[in-house]
Amino acid sequence: MSTFEKNINSIVSDLLDDCEHKSGSHEDPIFRHPDKEVITDILYSLRKIIFPGYFKNKSVKVYTLRNNLTMLIEDVVYKLTKQMTIVLDDSDSNEDTEAKAMEISLEFVKRLRRIREYILSDVQAAYDGDPAAYSEDEIIYSYPGLFAILVNRIAHELFVLGVPIIPRMMTEYAHSQTGIDIHPGAQIGKYFFIDHGTGIVIGETTVIGDNVKIYQGVTLGALSTRGGQSLKNKKRHPTIEDNVTIYSGASILGGDTVIGKGAVVGGNAFITHSVPEGAKISVKNQQLSSDLDTSKPIENSDDDEDTAWFYII
């Protein structure tokens, strides 16, 4: 054996020894980890189930739709059960863990009708709220905000059912695809519309009511994370009540912060206290200047305070 091969073998032995001794805080046996590709496959199968006829395989015909949905659901239950068996607490026997995983999987697929009801309301909200949307099909096929919401609604149900790791894997996949970061713990009502979406962050304990619209770059976050694990399971993120609009770049922080019904939050606002119902919050316009030789200076008009920053991109 060459010196090079000996060095490589030594490095591999060190790494395997480290894994086998469960270094650091990692306690899972080697190889007992969920499969990211399988989790992604589950998501795309669920999208086909929730939007029958969309995203179909070439072999799917109208007269085979029932059979196709049956096979998709069976496949989801099988794969989800296998993945959950890995991530669930296996302090009991493997048979008990698999039975528990199967029970949760079946309960989850029973909730697909409710997930579909909510996501269809989100499609309607996008169509009603975006004059650039020419059809619901366009929204379903192409809007990144809708994809992020769909994944969140799927992941949230698993989160509520007590499934570890997998819900976060799902939402982080959506984050990587869309630039929209929604924690699976966030509670989101019907008719939720994300316009554009890039850079949006919605924290774990956020509560969002019905008919809420938010633009790109919005953060619904915590005031401080210095408490670390001591803040787990505490309300750290804001509550957004019904019929609220939040424009781009706004940050709303804190578990005690409530944005009242019908309020409108202007772009780049930084909010750490509650806002009453119907309030309109805006950042005072900055003065524009120009180096062009003009006889009249460029000014921002604040004459119409009610409409100056209401805009549609």
Does 11 fall in a domain? no
Give domain status of residue 1, yes or no: no
Dihedral sign for Cα atoms in the order 136, 139, 142, 147 = negative
Average pLDDT of the segment spanning 268-288: 89
Q: What value does the mean pLDDT take over residues 238-249?
A: 98
Structure token pair of residue 216 = 């790109």
309 shares a domain with 243? yes
> Would you tell me how many other CB atoms lie within 10 Å of the CB of residue 220?
28
CA distance 75 to 211: 34
Helix boundaries (H) for 51-111: 65-87, 94-110
Q: What is the mean pLDDT of residues 41-58?
A: 90
Question: Domain boundary at 164, 183, 202, which?
Answer: 183
Q: Which residues contact 20 (CB under 8 A, 6 or more apart)?
A: 30
Q: Is 218 within a domain?
A: yes
Percent residues over pLDDT 90 in the chain: 68
Same domain, 123 and 140: yes
Is there a single domain that holds both residue 86 and residue 150? yes
Same domain, 156 and 229: no
Residue 8 domain flag: no
- Confidence tier at 286 by pLDDT (50, 70, 90): low
Tens-digit pLDDT profile for residues 64-78: 778 889 999 999 999
Structural domain ending residue among the three candidates 130, 163, 183: 183
User: What share of the chain in percent tops pLDDT 70?
Assistant: 81
Residues 6+ apart with CB under 8 A from 242: 189, 209, 210, 211, 212, 261, 262
Q: Give yes or no for residue 28 having a pLDDT over 60.
A: no
Could you tell me where the DSSP H helices lie in 161-214? 166-178
User: What mean pLDDT, rounded, does the chain reach?
Assistant: 88
The tokens of 129 are what?
A: 């709220």
Q: Quick check: is 73 in a domain?
A: yes
Least confident of 58-62, 78-82, 85-89, 246-250: 58-62
CATH number, residue 85: 1.10.3130.10
Question: Rounded CA gap, 111 and 109, in Å?
Answer: 5
The phi and psi torsions of 161 (rounded to 5 degrees) equal -80, 0
Please report the pLDDT score of residue 310 as a whole number.
45
Same domain, 246 and 104: no
Between residues 23 and 147, which one has the greater pLDDT? 147
Q: Which residue has the higher pLDDT, 59 or 203?
A: 203
Asked, for residue 10, whether it belongs to a domain, the answer is no
Is the predicted pLDDT of residue 311 greater than 50, yes or no? no
For residue 274 the two structure tokens come to: 């509650």
- Shared domain check, 300 and 258: yes
The pLDDT tens digits of the residues spanning 178-203 come to: 999 999 999 999 999 999 999 999 99
127 plus 48 within the same structural domain: yes
A 10 A CB-CB count for 158 gives: 23
Does the pLDDT at position 121 exceed 80? yes
165 in the same domain as 220: no
Tell me, what amino acid is at 260?
G
Q: What is the pLDDT of residue 15?
A: 84
Please indicate, yes or no, whether residues 65 and 153 belong to a single structural domain of this protein: yes
Residue 275 carries which DSSP code? B
Q: Do both 152 and 69 map to the same domain?
A: yes
132 in a domain, yes or no?
Answer: yes
Structural domain for 176, as ranges: 21-183
Q: Are 184 and 164 in contact (CB under 8 A)?
A: no
Total domains in the fold of the chain: 2
Question: Which H or E run includes 201?
Answer: strand 201-202
Mark which of 150, 183, 216 sits at the end of a domain. Answer: 183
* Tens-place pLDDT, residues 211-238: 999 999 999 999 876 666 666 778 999 9
Asked whether residue 175 falls in the same domain as residue 26, the answer is: yes
Asked if the model's pLDDT at residue 308 lies above 50, the reply is: no
71 and 142 both lie in a single domain: yes
* 6 found inside a domain: no
Q: Give the domain CATH number at 233.
A: 2.160.10.10
